[in-house]
Structure 1
Amino acid sequence: MPTALLGHVPATLRSLAERAARAVGVEVDRRPFGKRLAGLCDRLDIRAALDAGATKGQYAAFLRRHGFHGHIVSCEPIGDAYEDLVRTAATDLAWHPERLALGATPGHVEVDVANRTRSPSGPSHSRTAPGHERAAMSTVDDLFDSYGYPPERSLLKVDAHGHEWGVLDGAAHSLPRLAAVQVELPLTPPHAGQRLLTDVTERLGRAGLALWWLEPGSTDPVTGRMLRCEGVFARFDR
């Protein structure tokens, strides 16, 4: 029985279902996702979070609400969203906003503000196209080096609007050491060339990160089909 349905089942039947699940080695967990994630951070002694695709800081604020007290680096390339991010983080001395895109290599990108898609932007690009902004791009590896956070005690969250694979490319040295990764997992490709759930799961598995939790995301309003979800991957071999 799916966990989400247990709250609608009479208490007696719910108790029976939970005992049956435990009998086959499955523990039913009805805590909200934020509390589960905070518990995982405690278990793995995670002390820093790198937030790729921060927009206005919603994810970092979510971590704080659920008891995460470590350092957070939030990266957002779009100017208006970055200004909101800076205001939100202003009173939190352990929260560090960066106006950056994260990708496979350092450089610059042009970001379509409406769709948050990217295209390369070199020194020869003197002007950006209407509706686009030019932003600096760094890598996960470079940020870990510059801030000095050990990946072994860090969580990487990636929500890059179709560019998640490139962000992981830029984490070649960090990925085999990271304690946990949270990443958007599409079940159908909303962006051309975007890798799907199976590709990302396989890649993180090769880096020693096991799938720990799937949190439902958006669905097709007509068919009810799930289009994407959030996957949390964790390293339990330490």
Structure 2
Amino acid sequence: MQTLYRRLLKLAPKLGVQVLDIGPGEALVSRRRGRARISLEAGADLLARRSSGYGVTPVGPDAWLVSRSRGGGPKAKPKTAKWKNAALGQTGAHLLFDPEAAKGDERVFQLAAADYLCAHHVNGLLDKYQVNVVFDVGANAGQYGTRLRRHGYTGRIVSFEPTAEHFAKLQKKAENDPDWHVYNCGLGREEATMEIHSNWNSMNSLLPPTEYGKGRYKRFAKSTMEQIEIRRLDAVMDEALDGIADPRPYLKMDTQGYDLEVFAGAGKRIDDFVGMQSEVALLRLYEGSPQMHEAVAIYEEAGFEITGMYPVTREPATGRVVEFDCVMVRAAAVASDG
């Protein structure tokens, strides 16, 4: 004799619903037809529409990546076979990647990984050193500030961007964030009015390109100059820190060869910073910019020590690193657990 449970399952399709028998005493009842069961392992199944093109990739014990090829639809094929899974040591984290895309240009893959690892490292330092205000110098269109928020930083951001086009984008990005302050100026050693190359997108600089730079980037062939205001960092700090009872600032600089000038403009107030980040060059793109060893020596003399170096760009032909993101802290300023 059929159980009441089985009778109900047989009756369900007549009521306009689909029944997918999952196992003893279990069934999926759905108004939509065409459900399919994709086996993950014994005792674990994925239920999806037959036409969805879903695929499954194992990610460690008891975990799977569920992905669908672009477009979906009845003819869509899952990308399951392409995904590779690499365990990241004993951390419990896994790196999922398409080996076909990764082997096309390993520099792209490595630099993307370095960018993520740098952001993750900085986020950890901001927490460890209890940073409550980040000075974002050379903010461009607000990419760094956006990334800080995405990684969970909730303190104040003070961004500086001198060019009109990129400041407008920065201002729009920060307009709904009450603790993201923006300044339409550059920072340097002296307060002045200067001209900046403003049509090099994310590489706008107060400095002209070197011959090496011209050979590497076509954008340097044409120049549009824009007059901008330059201020000293120590002249704006009190205003930027207003309302923060116990400021613990972090300085990020990405000014295309001008970081040491920004650093000099902090004067004695550089001692207030618990950490910093600077783009340092092994191969110079801009005339008059320091090489990595020169910049790092000055930062170290001011009391900062390196916690991480992450490649920003590489030469396509040789694989040499052009620039690193150099992350540094004052070890004595680490926040006490108590």
Taking only the aligned residue pairs, the percentage that are identical comes to 26
Task: Give the drift of 1:176.
Answer: 2.5
Aligned residue for 2:192? 107
Paired with 1:52 and 1:37, the residues of 2 have a C-alpha distance of 16
Aligned residue for 1:138? 231
Aligned residue for 2:136? 51
Bigger mean CA offset, 173-182 vs 38-47: 173-182
Q: Which has the higher contact order (CA 8 A, sep 6+)?
A: 1
C-alpha RMSD over aligned residues: 2.3
Task: Give the drift of 1:152.
Answer: 6.0
Aligned residue for 2:307? 212
Aligned residue for 2:120? 35
Paired with 1:216 and 1:146, the residues of 2 have a C-alpha distance of 34
Paired with 1:87 and 1:114, the residues of 2 have a C-alpha distance of 20
Paired with 1:36 and 1:118, the residues of 2 have a C-alpha distance of 29
3-state SS, counterpart of residue 168 of structure 1: helix
Aligned residue for 1:148? 241
Letter in 1 for 2:281: P
| Deviation by residue 1:49-73 (Cα, 9 ceiling, x = unmatched) | 1111000000000111111111111
Letter in 2 for 1:79: A
2:205 corresponds, among 78, 103, 117, to 117
| Deviation by residue 1:170-205 (Cα, 9 ceiling, x = unmatched) | 012122231111100101111112111111111111
The gaps in structure 2 that reach 5 residues or longer are: 1-83, 91-115, 208-222, 334-338
TM-score, length-scaled by structure 1: 0.80
Contact kept, 8 Å, 1:152 with 1:179, in 2: the verdict is no
Letter in 1 for 2:259: E
Matched, 1:196 2:291: yes
Aligned residue for 1:78? 163
TM-score, length-scaled by structure 2: 0.57
Aligned residue for 1:68? 153
Contact kept, 8 Å, 2:241 with 2:247, in 1: the verdict is no
The gaps in structure 1 that reach 5 residues or longer are: 1-7, 16-30, 120-129
Paired with 1:95 and 1:177, the residues of 2 have a C-alpha distance of 20
Matched, 1:176 2:271: yes
Paired with 1:162 and 1:103, the residues of 2 have a C-alpha distance of 12
Quickly say closer, same or farther: Cα 1:14–1:90, change in 2 above 3 A: closer
Aligned residue for 2:326? 231
Contact kept, 8 Å, 2:186 with 2:230, in 1: the verdict is yes
Quickly say closer, same or farther: Cα 1:114–1:44, change in 2 above 3 A: same
Q: Mark the structure with the bigger radius of gyration.
A: 2
Letter in 2 for 1:84: K
Matched, 1:165 2:253: no
Task: Give the drift of 1:96.
Answer: 0.8
Task: Give the drift of 1:167.
Answer: 0.6
Task: Give the drift of 1:140.
Answer: 1.3
Task: Give the drift of 1:9.
Answer: 10
By percentage of residues, which structure has more strand? 2
